[in-house]
Amino acid sequence: MRGLLSCAILASLSVSACQDPTGPPPEYRPEEAGTVDHAMCLLGFEAVPLREVATGHHLVQAKINGRSGSFVLDTGANVTVVENSHLRHFDISGSQGGLGRAVGGMAGGMRARQVAIDGLKIGSIKTRQARIVTTDLGQLLSMLGQVSGTTVYGLVGQDVLKEHRAIVDVAKPMLYLIPQDRDPAPVAAAKCKREAEAKGGA
């Protein structure tokens, strides 16, 4: 949080001082033995590229109800959250009841509402998420938006990460998820080559 606040202060003077250039996505090599990508692929994980911003946070592309947006990957948040002001962007109704507890992590214990959605995809992976949370994250996401040079719509939390056995490689950076409802288990090596070809990596 300290880095985020430092960049927010700099952003008021010059946003470009905190922005990181948009570089190429992390290289994905599931067909190459000896790589983390290959090991994860053999266990049934699929990869979703992350974008690291100057604050050290990671952004991931997601779709809610078929509409895209950038989200903060927040391993400390217990639920996935959309900022109240972006509900219309995702065609979400905010009429559902409130939660009995606050949202943790970057949300800082703010009160929230739970709402139904038609679907949530993280990268190309369709999750089993049927509900998400909405709350006011405007100031926080505005800071991250200035730093990253893009609109940040919310955060992806532990509900999705636990459900899909998430593993995060912060050095790469890459998010690995298991699409199916199962524990990691060996798969055929040919699958990894097909996955690389599908993503243009071979």
Residue 161, domain member (yes or no): yes
Q: Are 159 and 80 in contact (CB under 8 A)?
A: yes
In a domain, 181, yes or no: no
Q: DSSP alpha helices (H): ranges in the chain? A: 2-13, 36-42, 138-148, 158-163, 189-198
Average pLDDT, the chain: 83
Query: Where does the pLDDT of residue 4 fall: very low under 50, low under 70, confident under 90, or very high at 90 and above?
Result: very low
Task: Examine residue 40 and state whether it is found in any structural domain, yes or no.
Answer: no
In a domain, 182, yes or no: no
For the cut 60, the answer to whether the pLDDT of residue 83 exceeds it is yes
pLDDT of residue 171: 92
Q: Is 65 left (phi over 0), alpha (psi -120 to 50) or beta?
A: left
pLDDT bin (cut points 50, 70, 90) of residue 14 is: very low
The CATH number of whichever domain residue 152 belongs to comes to: 2.40.70.10
Domain range spanning residue 136? 2-24+46-176
* Per-residue confidence (pLDDT) for residue 2, from 0 to 100: 35
Alpha-carbon span 62 to 125, nearest angstrom: 9
Residue 100 lies in a domain: yes
* pLDDT of 3 over the 70 cut: no
pLDDT of the residue at 18: 44
- Using alpha carbons, select from 39, 40, 37, 3 the residue that is nearest to residue 20: 3
26 Cβ contact partners less than 8 Å away, ≥ 6 residues apart: 49, 50, 172, 173, 174
pLDDT value of position 108: 54
In the beta sheet, which residues pair with residue 134?
Answer: 82, 113
- Contact call for residues 60 and 71 (beta carbons, < 8 A): yes
Note whether residue 54 is domain-resident. yes
The confidence score (pLDDT) of residue 36 equals 94
Categorize the per-residue pLDDT at 111 as very low, low, confident or very high, splitting at 50, 70 and 90: confident
pLDDT mean over 82-102:
75
Q: Please count the structural domains in the chain.
A: 1
71 found inside a domain? yes
Q: Residue 201: which pLDDT band, with cuts at 50, 70 and 90?
A: low
Rounded mean pLDDT, 100-115: 63
- Whether residue 29 lies inside any domain: the answer is no
For residues 109-131, average pLDDT: 90
Span 145-198, pLDDT tens digits: 999 999 999 999 999 999 999 999 999 999 999 999 998 988 888 888 888 888
